[in-house]
Amino acid sequence: MLGPVLLAAARSDRMRRVVAAAPVTRPVVNRFVAGDELHRAMDAVRTLTSSGLDVTLDHLGEDVHDRATAHATRDAYLRLLETLRDQKLAARAEVSVKLSAFGQALPDGGHDIALDGVRRVAELATEIGTTVTLDMEDHTTVDSTLAVLHELRREHPSTGAVLQSYLFRTEDDARALATAGSRVRLVKGAYKEPAGVAFQDKRDVDKAYVRALRTLFAGDGHPMVGSHDPRMIAIAQELAARHHRGPGTYEFQMLYGIRTAEQRRLADEGERMRIYVPYGADWYGYFMRRLAERPANLAFFLRSFAPTGR
């Protein structure tokens, strides 16, 4: 019930100021975010990759409304890729980008501005031997994001996309993207969406997730199972066996700090397990979506406000 309230708060500047200024917020944020700075994120990447996990890095930021900030996002990703190259981590670490941080919503030509910025990132990623995945944001951005994907895949065919099972359109999108070389991360969806475009009942979202999983595993692409849900993970493993897919022809993905024992278990079983590692100072929207997903996370956060010693 609190989920929609938190998702609305995730887009409120006033709430952003209140939450970010609370001194108790930081330790809770640290559970989900690898640090404000690149060098902190690289510490996490080294720890994860040396224990057999792969990563995808997200330089936090979204809903950018001026060109200068959009360019700063692009430059931050270029720095990140140079660092991965210099530290010889490109084989195990890719990057995830949100096109709204590249200026997608700018009123004059936002789509093209975002495409130009992310194209530079994809070029460097290809050059150093890694990949880019385009995160999916709210439903108003899906057409533009899939059009950017289509453009990028001409030159960089392993550019990945994200599909959200809560959207009615996703079954069709999954069919269209289940083709050779196509990397698709399937998630349930983290934004507040209207009933006209998305399932509202969690059971319907889960059923739609399974339908899209079936389509992706039956196709020729590379499914990326972005979920912490044990049922979805078990179904994905059954589908992999049914379609005679070996490890490396699909992968599991989970968020940094969430179900870490399960991350370890899957990697130890020989599955490819990739951890989504967010870093940067603009953690507010990401953090609020994590609280909205799980009442226990919210309770943990609220408990940290309680005075100590009683």
Binding site for ligand FDA (CB under 6 A): 135-136, 162, 164, 185, 187-191, 226-229, 253-255, 258-259, 276, 290, 293-294, 297
Catalytic residue among 54, 58, 119, 135: 135
The least CB distance from residue 231 to ligand FDA, in Å, is 8
Question: Which one from 183, 185, 274, 289 is the annotated catalytic residue?
Answer: 185
Nearer to ligand FDA, 183 or 290 (CB): 290
Phi, psi at residue 255, to the nearest 5°? -85, 145
Q: Which residues contact 241 (CB under 8 A, 6 or more apart)?
A: none
Q: Which residues are within 8 A (CB) of 8 and not within 5 positions of it... i.e. 6 or more apart?
A: 192
Compare residues 98 and 111 and give the one whose CB is closer to ligand FDA.
Answer: 98
Terminus-to-terminus CA distance in the chain, angstroms? 29
Nearer to ligand FDA, 195 or 296 (CB): 296
Those residues with Cβ within 8 angstroms of residue 297's Cβ, 6 or more apart along the chain or in another chain: 290, 291
Nearer to ligand FDA, 43 or 229 (CB): 229
CB of 210 to ligand FDA, least distance (A): 12
Minimum CB separation of residue 190 from ligand FDA in Å reads 4
307: DSSP letter: P
Identify whether 67 is a catalytic site residue: no
Which spans in the chain are helix H? 2-9, 13-21, 25-32, 38-50, 67-86, 110-128, 142-155, 170-177, 202-218, 230-242, 260-268, 284-293, 295-303
| Angle at the Cα of 295 from the Cα atoms of 290 and 296, rounded to 5 degrees | 90
Whether 36 is catalytic = no
Taking the complex as a whole, how short is the minimal distance between the CB of residue 259 and ligand FDA, in angstroms?
Answer: 6
CA gyration radius, the chain: 19
Nearer to ligand FDA, 90 or 136 (CB): 136
| Catalytic residue IDs | 135, 185
